[in-house]
Amino acid sequence: MALLVRVLVSEGVILWCRPPGLRRNRISISQWVPVCSRLLLVSHTQGQWGRALSGTSQLSSTKDSPQPVEKVGAFTKIIEAMGFTGPLKYSKWKIKIAALRMYTSCVEKTDFEEFFRRCQMPDTFNSWFLITLLHVWMCLVRMKQEGRSGKYMCRIIVHFMWEDVEQRGRIMGVNSYILKKNMMLMTNNFYVAILGYDEGVLSDDRGLAAALWRTFFNQKCEDPRQLELLVEYVRKQIQYLDSMNGEDLLLTGEVSWRPLVEKNPQSILKPHSPTYNDEGL
């Protein structure tokens, strides 16, 4: 009987199905796939992938200490059940400003040229979207740990992302009909990617590599060293974001990214707290 795992994606609940008979400690890249993906098996390269990924550092993707449960009143539960957002820890406009800054960090503080070069990706709009999506997802993973305010911020970040994608498409002169059709396709790919990345980051390095191979590389990566590099990048970046103070992130949205290739691995230290005034700006 298939194991169903509920994964929260934004506001909805998606059921993730793992084929029966698979064990987490024996999952290979060709096996760790969603049931509906119809992926081809790549078992002939399993040995090569496994050797490359075996040396990747196993960094913690979640905080060791359990997060306190946020108490929600009956009134808040009622209005949120009706589709409205209840009272938050901080005012909504502060969170929206912080969300805009966090999304801006994903597109302005990321070295896209380095990703294009090291991952052998073409310099196209789709490649830009895949890199941006990966960094937005890592921000969502971090902010979901900050209770209801963090989840509200996640919704705003995704909203700003789609507004930016649509604006960039119009600037590029894409036909409105084609742009709308592509937006629908990218939306579907976005939720599939979020689901796969969530499953991968909770798994071992092979599970994360499989998710990156399916989504980030579009099943076209032939060099296991590229996957190894990206798995290590995601692990260290998730750990780096976890070290940032949640209150500061909710108020400022300031996020810095580690380089894709570390010149000095010992330089990964706890980041300094950002400065802001009494208005949270």
Long-range contacts of 188-196 (CB under 8 A, 24+ apart): 189/215, 190/133, 191/9, 191/10, 191/14, 192/34, 193/133, 193/137, 194/9, 194/137, 194/140, 195/7, 195/9, 195/14, 195/16, 195/34, 196/34
249, 102 contact by CB (below 8 A):
yes
pLDDT for residue 91:
84
Sign of the dihedral through C-alpha 192, 217, 259, 269? positive
Burial of 30 (0-12, 13-18, 19+ CB in 10 A): middle
Is the pTM higher than 0.85?
no
Alpha carbon separation from 109 to 106, 127, 227, 254 (Å, rounded): 6, 16, 22, 10
- The single-letter code of the amino acid at 51 is R
pLDDT for residue 281:
53
pLDDT for residue 131:
96
Whole-angstrom Cα distance, residue 20 to residue 147?
A: 34
pLDDT average per 10 residues of sequence, the chain (281 residues):
38 40 39 35 42 43 49 55 60 91 95 94 93 96 90 94 93 87 91 94 93 93 92 94 91 91 66 55 53
Residue 236: both structure tokens together: 């260290």
pLDDT for residue 52:
45
Residue 79: both structure tokens together: 């209005």
Whole-angstrom Cα distance, residue 14 to residue 20?
A: 19
pLDDT for residue 269:
55
Strand bridging mode 12-18 / 3-9: antiparallel
- The single-letter code of the amino acid at 87 is P
- CA 43 from chain centre, in angstroms, equals 27
54, 36 contact by CB (below 8 A):
no
Residue 8: both structure tokens together: 């929260």
